[in-house]
């Protein structure tokens, strides 16, 4: 023992050993106890376990840090067998089909959207047209969220407003993802009638928004369903009830004009009541049937010709004076 101590020098510091000093012998070389450390972290090897590379000794941790591949799935160092696929190293056990979790180490695999799939799942995915989430690489069963050029599960994101994970439906508001409920509150139209947000078709009327089924006649409360409506004092009415409440009054029958209205000569008439003042013949507004104004009432051509000549002359003069 003493002989060694006398002649041997530390492999690292090349110094002599003191008589009382401990020395460590490993592989035919000796070290001071303080010199027998990892070349990277200068710490003694835990449990005396070291790894050697290029004649230098490393502790397990540093050795792995420097030289071991890291599994792409579990992010742990791989010692032993390494699978290199799709540009990454994997533990044989970690290299699995992202869909059915079958181990792919010893069978063939297909790269799908940058992820390994077994052949069976690949055909299945291609057929169903489903997406793979670009965050968890699991297939997206429900509606995918397209965000920042990625297809992802909605639940990987939180609503910008209420901070809850997004559900299937979500909207982009000012570049931020928000859940549909918050979006409705912030942006979407609220039905004036039921005070609930409107999804789907919106009726805009009276500078307000409505569910189509809530946009109703203020009188009979039947939905308009795309039919004409008439507005009065901020309320909408269907045609018959608008006429009933506010419509034109026929000069002949003194009732509200029900359907089409003839508006001439400062008066209104039901179409069926727009008749010659003298002979009662129905006057058509279209076509060639002309009528002559007579005290702001209509007179058919025939009856006009029956008027006394003197009166016709005066009617003509009145027309000229008017002009």
Partner 1 sequence: MSRNIRKILESNRSKRDRELIISDENIGSLTELPGICSFTHLTRLNLSHNRLDELDPNIFSLSNLEYLNVFNNNLEELPGELRDIPKLRELNAGLNRLVQLPRGFGSCPSLQVLDLTYNNLTNGSFPGNFKYLGGTLRALFLGDNELLSVPLEIGTFLKLEVLVLRDNNIRDVPVDIGRLPKLKELHLNGNQIHILPPDLGLLDFSNPEKSFFRVFDNPLIDPLREQCESMKNNTDLFVKYLKSPQYLEVYTLYTIGVKKGNFPPLLKRDRSGKKSRKTPKFKPVEFGPLAFGAGVGDITPGDM
Positions in the binding site for partner 1 (CB under 8 A): 251-252, 254, 263, 265-267, 277-280, 295-296, 303, 306-308, 310-311, 314, 318, 321-322
- C-alpha closest to that of 262 among 252, 116, 92: 252
* CB distance 143 to 161 below 8 Å: no
> How far apart are alpha carbons 42 and 38 in whole angstroms?
5
Q: Which is nearer to partner 1, 201 or 322 (CB)?
A: 322
Alpha-carbon distances, residue 243 vs 136, 218, 226, 282, 295 (angstroms): 63, 13, 18, 22, 27
The CB-of-223 to partner 1 minimum distance in angstroms stands at: 32
Q: If you ran DSSP here, which 8-state letter would residue 298 be given?
A: E
Residues for the chain: how many in total?
323
* CB distance 251 to 267 below 8 Å: yes
The CB-of-316 to partner 1 minimum distance in angstroms stands at: 13
Q: Which is nearer to partner 1, 119 or 267 (CB)?
A: 267
Q: Which is nearer to partner 1, 127 or 254 (CB)?
A: 254
The CB-of-310 to partner 1 minimum distance in angstroms stands at: 4
Contacts of 290 (CB under 8 A, 6+ apart): 301
The CB-of-218 to partner 1 minimum distance in angstroms stands at: 24
Q: If you ran DSSP here, which 8-state letter would residue 189 be given?
A: -
Q: Which is nearer to partner 1, 209 or 243 (CB)?
A: 243
* CB distance 199 to 215 below 8 Å: no
The CB-of-306 to partner 1 minimum distance in angstroms stands at: 5
> How far apart are alpha carbons 43 and 138 in whole angstroms?
42
What does the block give as tokens for 54? Answer: 């290029």
The CB-of-234 to partner 1 minimum distance in angstroms stands at: 21
Q: Which is nearer to partner 1, 106 or 310 (CB)?
A: 310
Q: Which class for 207: exposed (0-12), middle (13-18), buried (19 or more C-beta within 10 A)?
A: exposed
The CB-of-254 to partner 1 minimum distance in angstroms stands at: 6
The CB-of-182 to partner 1 minimum distance in angstroms stands at: 49
> How far apart are alpha carbons 172 and 190 in whole angstroms?
18
What does the block give as tokens for 179? Answer: 């859940």
What does the block give as tokens for 22? Answer: 């401990």
């Amino acid at each position: 023992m003493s002989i060694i101590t006398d002649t041997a020098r530390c492999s690292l510091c090349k110094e002599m050993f003191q008589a009382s000093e401990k020395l460590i012998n490993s592989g035919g070389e000796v070290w001071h106890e303080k010199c027998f450390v990892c070349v990277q972290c200068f710490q003694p090897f835990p449990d005396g376990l070291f790894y050697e590379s290029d004649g230098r000794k490393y502790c397990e941790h540093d050795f792995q840090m420097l030289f071991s591949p890291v599994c792409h799935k579990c992010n742990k160092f791989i010692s032993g067998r390494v699978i290199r696929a799709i540009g990454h190293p994997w533990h044989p056990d970690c290299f699995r089909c992202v869909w059915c979790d079958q181990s792919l180490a010893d069978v063939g695999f297909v790269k799908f959207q940058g992820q390994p799939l077994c052949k069976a799942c690949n055909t299945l995915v291609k057929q169903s047209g489903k997406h793979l989430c670009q965050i968890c690489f699991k297939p997206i069963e429900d509606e995918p969220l397209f965000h920042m050029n990625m297809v992802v599960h909605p639940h990987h994101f939180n609503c910008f407003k209420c901070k809850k994970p997004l559900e299937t439906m979500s909207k982009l508001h000012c570049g931020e993802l928000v859940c549909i409920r918050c979006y409705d509150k912030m942006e979407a139209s609220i039905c004036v009638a039921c005070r609930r947000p409107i999804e789907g078709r919106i009726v805009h009327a009276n500078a307000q928004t409505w569910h189509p089924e809530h946009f109703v006649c203020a009188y009979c409360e039947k939905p308009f369903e795309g039919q004409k409506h008439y507005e009065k004092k901020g309320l909408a009415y269907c045609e018959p009830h608008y006429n009933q409440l506010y419509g034109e009054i026929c000069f002949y029958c003194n009732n509200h004009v029900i359907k089409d209205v003839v508006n001439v000569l400062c008066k209104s008439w039901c179409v069926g009541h727009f008749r010659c003042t003298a002979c009662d013949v129905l006057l058509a507004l279209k076509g060639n049937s002309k009528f002559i104004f007579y005290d702001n009432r209509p007179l058919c051509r025939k009856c006009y010709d029956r008027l006394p000549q003197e009166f016709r002359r005066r009617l003509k003069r009145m027309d000229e004076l008017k002009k």
